[in-house]
Structures are given as C-alpha cells and as structure tokens.
Structure 1
Amino acid sequence: MSSLRQSEAAAPPRTRAQAPRQVGTLAAIGAVLGKELRLERRAPQTLVAMAIFSATAFVVFHFALQRDTLEGGLAAGVLWVTLTLAALLGIGRSFVADRDEGGLDGFLLAPVDRTALLAAKVITMLVFLVAIELVAVPLFALLLLGPSPDAGQWLQLAAVLGLADIGIAVIGTLVAAIAVRTRARDLITSILALPLLVPVIIGASQASEPLLSAGTGGAPARWLAVLALYDLIFGLLAWALFDYLVED
C-alpha cells in the first residue's frame, strides 16, 4: 500500500488536455509535398493542361510567324511567353483542392509552421515547371529553333530556366495564396501574377537570347544576377507575408 501511494505521489499531475506536439518543418514539407504529388499522379490535370497549352502555342507560332526557324530575341520571347502562360495554368490551381476539400483549414489548425506549406507549394510548382520544360523545350527546339545550341549553351540555358522557375514558383504561390479565398480567383491570379512576372520574363529572355543565336555567346552574367536577386527579394517577401495571407 505504501509503495502504491509513493508511486501516485511521484506521478506527474494530469491535465485535461495534452498540448499538441509541434510537427517538424521538414516533416510537414515532406507530407504536403507527397500529398500534392500523389494527387497529381492520380489525376494529372494540371500537367496535362500545361503540356497541351505549350505544344499548341508552339505549333501556332510555327505557322503564324511563317518562318521555318527562329533565333535570338524572337526565339527567346516565344519560349518565355509560352512557358509563363503555361505556368499560370498551374498557379491558378495551386490552392484550389486545399480550399474545396478543407485541407487549407486543416493545415492552419495543425501545430505546424505555416511556412512549411509555402515551401511545399513552391517545390511542387518547381516540379511541375521542370516536368513541363522537359517536354516543351525539346518541342520548341524541334519546331521553331534554328541553329541548335552546343552542350555548354544548353547547360547555361538550364541555369536560366532554373532561376526563372524559382521566381515563377515563388511569385505564383504568393499570388495563389492571396486569390484562393476570392470568388474570381482565376482572374485575380492572372491580374496579380502577370505584372510581377514581367521582370522574370524580361530577365530570362535577355539571358536566353545569346544562347539561342547563331553565335557562341554565353548568358550575360548581369541578367542572371537580376534573376537571382529578384528570386531572393520575393522569396523573403513570401516568407514574411505568407503567414498573414493564409488567414481568413
């Protein structure tokens, strides 16, 4: 009996409800990212829409411009306008499933750092953009591009694509978080995203122009720096504002 009393005395006092344990940020990012990729794998509506738009746009440009090949600034403009408009299709649907199925509210109630949702959405958009570019860029080269870049220029073009994709993904996620609770979310997403993406389009086009020309020039370092700086600025803005944007 005495030992039982001693064990009861040593036991910590019970509380009515235990506080929920904080989930690690990396674990939350992995969970949300896995959910997003599983949903897209089961019903790849976003990727299919982006791929069809890109292919259709390149075919239309091929016949509308009445030129067998493009190079330089014109080729860069066609490439980046098409990729940006295709990205808008994915941006517009970034938070739709979360809002319609209550996933966004559930995440906000969970003991998780909300920037984990931002990071997971940005990574998801990056995966979508890379997947589309693996199809769209070879198709662009086949239908429209004149002299094929050499291996070094392709590597530099991949760097330009990577920097531009980061900017598109961060800005797109930020804008989608603003527009998700509005009625005309598709319209508002485009209205907000396009002006913010103009510097990305300009920087990527200027950096790509010498890579898509007949010469052997490389990507201008200043435009790569512009893209990197723009990515950094909006990355910090998204990190600072996202917590407030997802509130009701």
Structure 2
Amino acid sequence: MTPPPPSTRRAVSALLRKEVRLELRTLQVIPAMALFSITTLIVFHFSLQANSVEGALAAGVLTVTLLFSAILGINRLFVADHEEGGFDGFLLAPVDRTAMLVAKALALGGFLVALEVVAVPAFGLMLLDPNLTGAALWQTIVVLLLADVGIAVVGTLVGALAIQTRARDLIVPLIALPLLLPVVIGTAKALAPTFAAAGAGALPGRWLAILGLYDLIFGLLAYAVFDFLLED
C-alpha cells in the first residue's frame, strides 16, 4: 500500500487538530465518558456484592465498562459536523474522503485513551484485588490499546452511518455492539490472566492475535466503504 499523499496527510492533521480544539473548548465527550465509567463501576461494586473481583470476572467488568462508555463518544463523534455543515464543506474540499475516517478514528482513539486514564485506576481502586501495578499494568495497557484500535475504527464507521438518521442515539448501540462483540470477547479473555488472584499471568497470544486480526480486517473494510457512507 502506497503512503498517503501530502494533501491527505495535511487534511488528516487539520481535521484532527479541529477535533482536539473542539473537545478542549467544549469538554463534552471525555468528561461524559469518564463520569459514565465511574458510575458504571460503582453500580458493579454494589450489584456484585463483593469487596473485590479477580480473573475473568474482573476482566469482564472492565471491558464492559469501557465499551459502554465508548458508545457515548461514538454517538457524539459526528454531531458537530452534521449540525454545523462540516460534512458539506468536507465533501466540497479537493481531498481524499478517507482523511476524515483517519482523523475521526484517531480522535476517538485519543478519547478512549483519556477515558482509560481515569477508568482503569478507578477500577483498580474500587474493585480489583490484587492492585494493578507492575507487569499487570503494562499487560493491561497492551491489551486495551489493541481493543481501542478496533473500537475506534468500528465506532467511526458506525458513527458516520448513524449520523445520517434521526435515531442516531438508538442506531449506534444497535449496530456497534454486535460488531464489537469479538473485541469484547478478545479483550476479556486476554485480560483474565492479568487479573488472576495469584498475580499476573502471561498474556494469551491467541487472543492478542485475534484482536490484531480484527483491527486489520475492520480497518481495511472501513477504508473501503467510508467514501460511500459520506456520499449517501
């Protein structure tokens, strides 16, 4: 695959800077995602009726919390462009349409990382035993970064599709959650040894490979169909 031309790279950079400036000015997406994640962890803390969780249960709680919080970010990803005419302006610009895909996916990925900076320590403090330090922390970072790529790509694709409809708040979870099911399973399975009561075990290479393959397949799929989504 040939590298993108300079005009596409400049378009991606300009769009990404716009997303960052918009979020820094309004502070709508990241605080909402972080607050939702904390609320969800509190609900898990009381509903499970346990002082701490470990292993597969801990991995499932963290994965589900992050996924549901990510849905909020996906819902808001294209709202400003849709309401302020950003789509029309971009379609008239002489740049590759996939520049918006790359910029939006990078922005959503950044939102997810910011979310995890808040949610993962809160999860470790409220629910996890033993504490998330050392090898367990680095393993968690590796797995979550792989998951973030898949969520960012699929979320951008679903967000672009849902923004064209009136019921976008309903369409996003209905489409995104089934598509992200492999990410949920792969992330939970990969993190289960990390959260074991006896200490962090080795990361399962098979599930890391599945997450990586998912990211590659859906990245190529999004690249192929995003242009048609914007046109429609």
The two structures have a TM-score, normalised by structure 1, of 0.89
% identity of equivalent residues: 59
Q: 1:218 matched to which residue of 2? A: 202
More divergent stretch after superposition (151-160 vs 73-82): 151-160
In the alignment, structure 1 segments of 5+ residues that lack a partner are 1-21
Matches within 5 A, 1:129-208: 129-208=112-191
Partner residue of 2:35 out of 31, 43, 52: 52
Letter in 2 for 1:31: A
Give matches, 1:28-39, under 5 Å.
28-39=11-22
Which whole-Å CA distance do the structure 1 matches of 2:138 and 2:33 have between them?
Answer: 24
Question: CA RMSD, aligned part only?
Answer: 1.1
TM-superposed deviation, 1:214 = 1.7
Cα displacement (A) at 1:212? 0.6
Aligned-partner Cα distance in 1 for 2:133–2:22 = 38
Output the CA distance in 2 between the equivalents of 1:149 and 1:96.
Answer: 36
Letter of the structure 2 residue corresponding to residue 135 of structure 1: V
Deviations 1:93-123 (A, max 9, x none): 1111101000011001100111110000000
Q: Residue type matched to 2:218 in 1?
A: F
Deviation track 1:10-33 (CA, whole Å, cap 9, x = no partner) reads xxxxxxxxxxxx971111011000
Local SS of the residue matching 1:68 = coil
Instruction: Indicate if the aligned counterparts of 2:125 and 2:131 stay in contact, CA closer than 8 A.
Output: no
Q: Which residue in 2 is equivalent to 1:65?
A: 48
- On the 8 A contact 1:170/1:238 being kept in 2, the answer is yes
CA distance in 1, matches of 2:166, 2:150: 26
Q: Please state how far the C-alpha of 1:73 moved relative to its aligned partner.
A: 0.7
Aligned twin of 1:127: 110
Question: Take 1:62 and 1:141, find their aligned partners in 2: how far apart are those partners?
Answer: 12
Q: How many residues align?
A: 227
Q: Contact 2:60/2:188 (CA < 8 Å) preserved in 1?
A: yes
Residue aligning to 1:8: none
Distance across 2 between alignment mates of 1:111 and 1:56: 44
1:25 aligned to 2:8? Answer: yes
- Greater shift in the superposed pair: 177-186 or 196-205: 177-186
Match of 1:94 in 2: 77
Query: Normalization by structure 2: what TM-score?
Result: 0.95
User: Post-superposition shift, 1:64?
Assistant: 1.4
- Written as runs of structure 1 = structure 2, the 5 A alignment for 1:74-113 is 74-113=57-96
**Greater Cα offset, 121-130 or 142-151:** 142-151
Q: Confirm or deny: 8 A CA contact 1:23 1:111 kept in the other structure.
A: no
Larger radius of gyration: 1
Structure 2 unaligned runs (5+)? Answer: none
Residue number in structure 2 paired with 1:3: none
Q: What is the letter of the counterpart of residue 127 of structure 1?
A: G
